């Protein structure tokens, strides 16, 4: 059996100490250079066995007896769930095991929960690093790097305090369905999650953390790590333009060997790219780097697990998070092209069914959110990568007419184009934006719940309000682009972003903005005198001083008002609404039906 090194990812809440932990692991490795040190990869660092052995000291003895010794650990350099979600692989993860960092004094925080949910959905085993032990009040500094020893050196009250903090985590994890225990009390590593108290700052506990990681992977991940008969494949982490190299992709090779003469098969948004790499690159060791711009060293081949760079002008548009296949003949190219096409089909969603519209920044976040929406039983009509466009909002609008709770846009880490923003305001399409995956879904679910509770009021509030208002004589502030003029609200409430008509029933345009006493307001009430701006009209052409206007609900809204909401209008509003319907029916007999 040829076992490769496991790929390790670090996750956890902001400020829990993920970066410090990675620095500490790498730093200790660098200091242990004589024993093998660490090798820098692209996006990852490799700790060979000798280094781990030196760091773990006597703890390594037991690990050495395993028949399936792993040749070290490949630790992904960028912590956090953003990179982790892109480390995807056939519905699972390219990471073999993860370290979930928890701040000992803060316990579980929002992103700890989010990380856990992602680990769960990708079925990645993990170890909890209970970090910042040195910050437990009263903690005594000691020389040892072994946490088991350091705990013994603490006062009894501090030991009890740490125990309590460990049990808090055990409690939280048990609510979430996991059995866990401090690593020194774990009896069965397969069914219990090990909690290792550490300090990324002092380095205490790192030996235990590493030995638990190595022990777990040697015992339970042999099949995954065994390289016999594995097809070479990797995952694209990032695509970027590199000075002097042009388009490059950072890749983690999960299995097998890639040679420079092989073809690679990768996905872009609208198809498959087949290309031969111009170069396979690894970082140059520091002592070989004379010019800092000359960071990479071309190599003829790379063996898994490894982080490396591919340079090729054809890589433009390749999707981060997509699988990279390695082909040595036409038959394999055809096979992998088909595989990628079907993979992409299962990731992107575009259906005619009712569901939410989801836009994400990467294929990894898209997949993770889809999975969670599925668990929350929220159907998805469309899921894609890229900014929120006007078309997305219009699609949501059509869905909303059939199901008001599904006609929404969920956006994860993407921009909203300006015309999409306008459209969502005028059409009352809810947009949920969040950079924390589970908050995005929680906020949506909370809104659905709240909105269902007072659905009638919520529906009425979204309709074009019924109002009558007049253009005040002499109140012309600007003729056009946009036209700005003073109006008095005669009946009802006037709002911005709503359509209005003249007495003949012709639609004039949309009220763009309202200003009361020079302050922008969204609503003006009966009797208010406000400045009103309207785009695409000119005073003296489409609109005139002293004219009287009505707000103009579209036909389907008029129908809802007639059927369900007349009782919500005041008698004056009812009168105005009856006028609107009468005038419109002279032009369009089916208005409001
Ligand atoms: P990240 O956001 O999870 O990557 O967290 P960082 O590694 O940037 O750490 C956040 C802050 O906590 C920094 O100020 C670190 O110096 C500090 N920190 C991290 N680990 C420890 C630790 O073990 N002990 C103490 N006292 N501080 C720590």
State ipTM.
0.99
What confidence tens digit (pLDDT) does each residue in 475-511 have? 999 999 999 999 999 999 999 999 999 999 999 999 9
Instruction: Identify whether 81 is a catalytic site residue.
Output: yes
**Index of the ligand 1 atom closest to the CA of residue 198:** 23
Q: Is the pLDDT of residue 15 over 90?
A: yes
Q: Is the pLDDT of residue 419 over 90?
A: yes
Ligand 1 pocket, Cβ-based, cut-off 6 angstroms:
12, 14-20, 79, 131-132, 134-135, 199-201
What confidence tens digit (pLDDT) does each residue in 103-141 have? 999 999 988 998 998 999 899 999 999 999 999 999 999
> What pLDDT score was predicted for residue 270?
85
Least confident of 6-10, 77-81, 129-133, 233-237: 77-81
Task: Write the residue with the smallest CA distance to atom 10 of ligand 1.
Answer: 15
For residue 14, how far is its CA from the centre of ligand 1 (angstroms)?
9
Region 321-348: mean pLDDT is: 93
> What pLDDT score was predicted for residue 28?
64
Rounded CA gap, 431 and 481, in Å?
28
Q: Is the pLDDT of residue 229 over 80?
A: yes
Q: Is the pLDDT of residue 23 over 70?
A: yes
Across 413-434, b (16+ Cβ under 10 Å) vs e yields: bbebbeebeebbebebbbbbbb
What confidence tens digit (pLDDT) does each residue in 347-402 have? 899 998 999 999 999 899 999 899 889 988 999 999 999 999 999 999 999 999 89
In sequence order, the 6+-apart residues with CB closer than 8 A to the CB of 389 are 417, 419, 420
Q: Is the pLDDT of residue 82 over 50?
A: yes
> Nearest Cα to 193, choosing from 180, 184, 203?
180
442: left (phi over 0), alpha (psi -120 to 50) or beta: alpha
Whole-number mean pLDDT of the chain? 92
**Index of the ligand 1 atom closest to the CA of residue 202:** 23
Q: Mutation test of ligand 1: which of 12, 20, 21, 162 has the most ligand atoms closer than 8 Å to its C-beta? A: 20
Q: List domains and CATH numbers for the chain.
A: 7-225 (3.40.50.300), 233-345 (2.40.30.10), 348-444 (3.40.50.10050), 467-587 (2.40.30.10)
Q: Which of 13, 81, 405, 496 is the catalytic position?
A: 81
What confidence tens digit (pLDDT) does each residue in 540-560 have? 999 999 999 999 999 999 999
**Index of the ligand 1 atom closest to the CA of residue 23:** 7
In this prediction, residue 438 has a pLDDT band, given cuts at 50, 70 and 90, of confident
Task: Write the residue with the smallest CA distance to atom 20 of ligand 1.
Answer: 17
Q: Is the pLDDT of residue 100 over 60?
A: yes
For residue 134, how far is its CA from the centre of ligand 1 (angstroms)?
11
For residue 107, how far is its CA from the centre of ligand 1 (angstroms)?
14
> What pLDDT score was predicted for residue 558?
95
Sign of the C-alpha dihedral computed for residues 421, 423, 425 and 428 taken in this order: negative
Task: Write the residue with the smallest CA distance to atom 2 of ligand 1.
Answer: 15
Cα dihedral angle (39, 86, 327, 299), rounded to 10 degrees?
A: -20
In this prediction, residue 31 has a pLDDT band, given cuts at 50, 70 and 90, of low
**Index of the ligand 1 atom closest to the CA of residue 16:** 3
Q: Token digits for 148?
A: 């088991």
For residue 104, how far is its CA from the centre of ligand 1 (angstroms)?
11
Known binding-site residues equal 77-81
> What pLDDT score was predicted for residue 34?
46
Cα three-residue angle 156-161-165, rounded to 5 degrees: 145
Task: Write the residue with the smallest CA distance to atom 22 of ligand 1.
Answer: 132
**Cα 9 → chain centroid:** 17
For residue 543, how far is its CA from the centre of ligand 1 (angstroms)?
63
Q: Mutation test of ligand 1: which of 11, 12, 15 has the most ligand atoms closer than 8 Å to its C-beta? A: 15
Across 535-566, b (16+ Cβ under 10 Å) vs e yields: eebebeebbeeeeebbbbbeeeebeebeeebe
Region 233-262: mean pLDDT is: 94
Region 461-471: mean pLDDT is: 95
**Index of the ligand 1 atom closest to the CA of residue 20:** 7
Known binding-site residues for GTP equal 77-81
For residue 20, how far is its CA from the centre of ligand 1 (angstroms)?
6
């Amino acid at each position: 059996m040829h076992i490769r090194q496991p790929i390790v990812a670090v996750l956890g809440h902001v400020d829990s100490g993920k970066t410090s932990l990675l620095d500490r692991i790498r730093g200790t490795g660098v200091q242990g250079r004589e024993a093998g040190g660490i090798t820098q990869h692209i996006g990852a660092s490799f700790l060979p066995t000798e280094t781990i052995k030196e760091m773990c000291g006597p703890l390594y003895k037991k690990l050495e007896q395993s028949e399936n010794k792993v040749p070290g650990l490949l630790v992904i350099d960028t912590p956090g769930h953003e990179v982790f979600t892109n480390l995807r692989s056939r519905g699972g993860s390219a990471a073999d095991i993860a370290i979930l960092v928890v701040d000992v004094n803060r316990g579980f925080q929002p992103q700890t929960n989010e990380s856990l949910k992602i680990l769960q959905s990708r079925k990645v085993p993990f170890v909890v690093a209970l970090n910042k032990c040195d910050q437990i009040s009263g903690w005594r500094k000691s020389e040892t790097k072994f946490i088991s020893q350091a705990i013994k050196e603490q006062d009894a009250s501090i030991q009890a305090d740490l125990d309590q903090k460990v049990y808090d985590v055990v409690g939280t994890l048990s609510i979430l369905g996991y059995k866990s225990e401090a690593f020194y009390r774990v009896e069965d590593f397969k069914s219990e999650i090990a909690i290792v108290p550490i300090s990324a700052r002092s380095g205490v506990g790192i030996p235990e953390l590493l030995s638990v990681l190595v022990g777990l992977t040697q015992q339970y991940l042999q099949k995954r790590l065994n390289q016999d008969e594995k097809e070479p494949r990797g995952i694209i982490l990032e695509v970027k333009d590199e000075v002097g190299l042009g388009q490059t992709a950072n890749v983690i090779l999960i299995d097998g060997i890639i040679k420079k003469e092989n073809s690679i098969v990768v996905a872009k948004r609208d198809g498959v790219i087949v290309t031969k790499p111009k170069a396979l690159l690894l970082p140059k060791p520091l002592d070989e780097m004379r010019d800092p711009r000359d960071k990479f060293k071309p190599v003829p081949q790379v063996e898994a697990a490894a982080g490396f760079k591919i340079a090729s002008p054809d890589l433009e548009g390749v999707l981060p998070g997509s699988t990279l296949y390695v082909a040595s003949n036409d038959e394999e190219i055809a096979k992998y092209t088909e595989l990628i096409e079907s993979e992409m089909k299962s990731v992107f969603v575009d259906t005619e069914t009712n569901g939410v519209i989801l836009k994400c920044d990467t294929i990894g976040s898209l997949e993770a959110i889809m999975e969670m929406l599925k668990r929350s039983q929220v159907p998805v009509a469309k899921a894609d990568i890229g900014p929120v466009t006007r078309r997305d909002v219009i699609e949501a609008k059509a869905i909303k007419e059939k199901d008001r709770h599904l006609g929404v846009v969920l956006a994860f880490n993407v921009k909203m184009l300006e015309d999409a923003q306008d459209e969502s305001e005028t059409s009352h399409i809810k947009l949920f934006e969040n950079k924390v995956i589970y908050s995005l879904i929680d906020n949506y679910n909370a809104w659905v719940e709240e909105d269902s509770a007072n659905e009638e009021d919520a529906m009425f509030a979204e309709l074009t309000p019924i109002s009558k208002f007049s253009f005040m004589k002499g109140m012309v502030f600007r003729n056009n682009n946009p036209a700005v003029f003073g109006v008095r609200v005669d009946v009802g409430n006037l709002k911005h972003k709503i359509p209005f008509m003249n007495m003949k029933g012709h639609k004039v345009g949309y009220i763009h903005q309202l200003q009361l006493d020079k302050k922008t307001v969204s609503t003006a009430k009966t009797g208010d005198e406000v400045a009103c701006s309207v785009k695409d009209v000119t005073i003296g052409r489409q609109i005139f001083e002293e004219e009287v206007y009505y707000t103009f609900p579209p036909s389907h809204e008029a129908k809802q008002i007639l059927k369900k909401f007349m009782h919500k209008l005041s008698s004056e509003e009812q009168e105005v609404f009856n006028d609107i319907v009468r005038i419109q029916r002279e032009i369009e007999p089916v208005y409001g039906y």
